[in-house]
Structure 1
Amino acid sequence: MYEYDVFISYQRAGRDISAWVKNHFRPRLAEVLDNNFYRDVRIFCDDQVRTGASWAGEVRTALLRTRVLVPVCSPKYFRDEWCLAEWHSMAKREALTTRTRPLIYPVIFCDSRNFPDWAHERRLRDLQQWNHPFEHFQAAPAYLDFNLQMQQIAGELEELIERAPDWRSDWPVHTPDPEPPKPARMPRF
């Protein structure tokens, strides 16, 4: 069964992107979606992985049990193995369904000129104008426009969530090969 309505995929190494997702994008999206839905909306973001849990396993399970992927796109997003695995997992799911509704709803954090051609084949929601990672952005006048954008995004996501295909336990989920452990460093005496 589905556990999450939305999986937010983003390049985790970028501090600005991580801060923006956690400070503004995810909380606003969750609030607006939850206000508009008849039931509680569940959004997965990787910071929800429990301490001590297998990060890769938790992300894989969450992706398998999510209706719609929302990638937060930047040029480095398309060079990150995990981001690409998340995108391609959902693209494969789209290919396996007979519905014409997309399951990937990409938003642009920055610089879409350097995205691969296959990413430009999708309708991308441009949020570059509101990509301020700092918490005080919420007090800026531009935050009102950001909120209007989030309301539009939530409305479009509601439709995609409602029309997601029935869950299947065999949805393909790609994950990068694990990196070999780093050799232990010998202490210097």
Structure 2
Amino acid sequence: MYEFDVFISYRRTASDITEWIRHHFHPRLSEVLDNNRYEDAKIFFDDRMRTGSSWPGELRSVLQHSRVLVPVCSPKYFRDELCLAEWYSMAEREALGTGPRRQLIYPVIFCDSKNFPGWAHERRMRDLQEWNHPFEHFQTAPAYLDFNQEIKRIAGELEDLIERAPEWRDDWPVRTPAPEPPKRARMPRF
């Protein structure tokens, strides 16, 4: 069964993107989506993963149990193996559907879409570059009101995708990147 309505996918080594999601995108989206739906909205953002959890294994399970993927796109997102595995997993799920193709990927642009790969531009993306300020005090800026309106539009569109998501299957494809090879041990110098 599904556990999450939305899985937020992002490049985890980019601290400005992480902070923007943590302070602005995730809390506003969660609140607005939850207010709009009869059921409780469940959005996965991995800053709440338990210490000591198996990172790739838990992410794989959460992705398999999520209805919609929201990639927060930057040029380096498309070079990150884990991000690409999350995108490709959901794209494969879209392709498995019968009848009209169901959209399960809702990309948002954090920065510089000119340098995205061509295949990424085949999808309509929601441009949030105007509001990509990671600092907490952005919430007191007048532009935050416009950001809030944009989040309301996003939540409305996500509601529709969530409602139209296919019935859950235990055989949803989930790609995982190849594990990194162990680093070579350095010989101590005497």
TM-score (ref. length: structure 2):
0.96
Structure 2 match to 1:169: 170
Structure 2 match to 1:8: 8
Decide whether the 8 Å contact of 2:6 with 2:42 is kept in 1: yes
**1:116 partner letter:** P
- The C-alpha deviation readout for 1:91-119, integer Å capped at 9, x for no partner, is 00000002423000000000000111111
- The C-alpha deviation readout for 1:145-188, integer Å capped at 9, x for no partner, is 00000000000000000110000000000010111233456778
Q: How big is the alpha-carbon RMSD for the aligned residues of Structure 1 and Structure 2? A: 1.3
TM-score (ref. length: structure 1):
0.96
Decide whether the 8 Å contact of 2:16 with 2:134 is kept in 1: yes
- The C-alpha deviation readout for 1:5-48, integer Å capped at 9, x for no partner, is 00000011111111101110001100000000101111111212
Which moves more between the two structures, 46-55 or 23-32?
46-55
Structure 2 match to 1:145: 146
Structure 2 match to 1:58: 58
Aligned pairs for 1:97-108 (under 5 A) are: 97-98=97-98, 99-108=100-109
Structure 1 match to 2:113: 112
- The C-alpha deviation readout for 1:25-73, integer Å capped at 9, x for no partner, is 0011000000001011111112121101101111000000000000000
The runs of 4+ residues in structure 1 deviating greater than 4 Å are 183-189
Once the two structures are aligned, what percentage of the paired residues are identical?
74
Structure 2 match to 1:23: 23
SS at match of 2:8: strand
Matches of 1:71 and 1:35 in 2, distance apart?
22
Gaps of 5+ in 1: none
Decide whether the 8 Å contact of 2:95 with 2:101 is kept in 1: no
Cα distance change on mapping 1:188 and 1:136 into 2, 3 Å: farther
Matches of 2:21 and 2:120 in 1, distance apart?
20
Matches of 2:186 and 2:32 in 1, distance apart?
49
Gaps of 5+ in 2: none
Matches of 2:71 and 2:52 in 1, distance apart?
26
- The C-alpha deviation readout for 1:110-158, integer Å capped at 9, x for no partner, is 0000111111110100000000000000000000000000000000000
**1:127 partner letter:** L
Aligned residue pair count: 189
Decide whether the 8 Å contact of 2:11 with 2:83 is kept in 1: yes
**1:103 partner letter:** L
